[in-house]
């Protein structure tokens, strides 16, 4: 069974993990996503309960017309004390943490928040539930969730999760196959955003430079 892990569209704030709506570009990204997967026979749509994920799912699903289920377990990794702050404030206030994070020697939780391992423990049961349901399935979630689950499936040390893409594009596709005979997932592609490449203004490089 195919499962498409999809990062939500661009939100209307650059502050860290605030629960806000999509911006105009985010809705356009979601429309292009819907067109990209229009011939894949999407049978079910799942999303986190954050506005940006729900709105991405609803917009893309105008092409798919599948049942949409909201799953809070698919929320973004908790950035804890960083949430609601701007990148420059985070860089100054959490400089020591950022240095340790870049070393990738341990699966660090964000100060007051979650680690990649925490995300796997929260989101993996939801992914297994999705895998036992109708498919192909589109799962609209968040960059931290996609990286953490992909790293776990690949058997990576979760301390090195940030190796997986310096910046996941909004509405990019990470494709999994679930093999019911073995209960295993395989990663077929990661951070595929070919549907956005003709539109440079929709790419993350035109909006932000770094990810937390």
Dump pLDDT digits (tens) for 66-75.
999 999 999 9
For residue 211, is pLDDT > 80? no
Taking residues 74-80, what's their average pLDDT? 97
Residue 206 has pLDDT above 80, yes or no: no
Q: How far apart are CA 38 and CA 58, in angstroms?
A: 14
* Rounded distance between C-alpha atoms, residue 158 and residue 117, angstroms: 7
Tell me the average pLDDT of the chain. Answer: 96
According to the model, what pLDDT value does residue 85 have? 95
Q: At which residue do the structure tokens 């301390």 appear?
A: 159
Q: Is 184 helix (H, G, I), strand (E, B) or coil?
A: strand
- Residue 177 in this model has a pLDDT that exceeds 90: yes
- Domain locations along the chain: 2-135+144-165
> Is 2-135+144-165 CATH 3.40.50.1240?
yes
Q: Does residue 112 register a pLDDT over 80?
A: yes
Secondary structure in 3-state letters for 106-175 = CCCCCCCCCCHHHHHHHHHHHHHHHHCCCCCEEEEECHHHHHHHHHHHCCCCHHHHHHCCCCCCCCCEEE
- Is the pLDDT at 126 greater than 90, yes or no? yes
């Amino acid at each position: 069974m195919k499962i498409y892990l999809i990062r939500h569209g661009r939100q209307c704030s650059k502050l860290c993990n605030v629960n806000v709506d999509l911006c105009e570009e985010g809705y356009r990204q979601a429309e292009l996503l819907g067109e990209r997967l229009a011939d894949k026979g999407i049978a079910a749509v799942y999303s986190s309960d954050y506005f940006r994920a729900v709105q991405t799912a609803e917009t893309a699903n105008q092409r798919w017309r599948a049942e949409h289920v909201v799953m809070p377990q698919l929320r973004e990794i908790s950035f804890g004390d960083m949430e609601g702050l701007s990148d420059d404030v985070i860089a100054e206030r959490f400089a020591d943490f950022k240095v340790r994070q870049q070393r990738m020697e341990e699966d660090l939780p964000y100060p007051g928040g979650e680690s990649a391992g925490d995300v796997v423990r929260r989101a993996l049961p939801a992914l297994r539930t999705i895998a036992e349901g109708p498919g192909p399935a589109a799962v609209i979630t968040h960059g931290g969730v996609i990286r953490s689950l992909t790293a776990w499936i690949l058997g990576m040390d979760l301390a090195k999760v940030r190796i997986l893409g310096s910046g996941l594009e909004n509405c990019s596709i990470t494709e999994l196959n679930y093999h019911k005979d073995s209960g295993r997932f395989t990663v077929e592609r990661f951070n595929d955003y070919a549907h956005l490449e003709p539109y440079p203004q929709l790419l993350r490089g035109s909006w932000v430079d770094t990810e937390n």
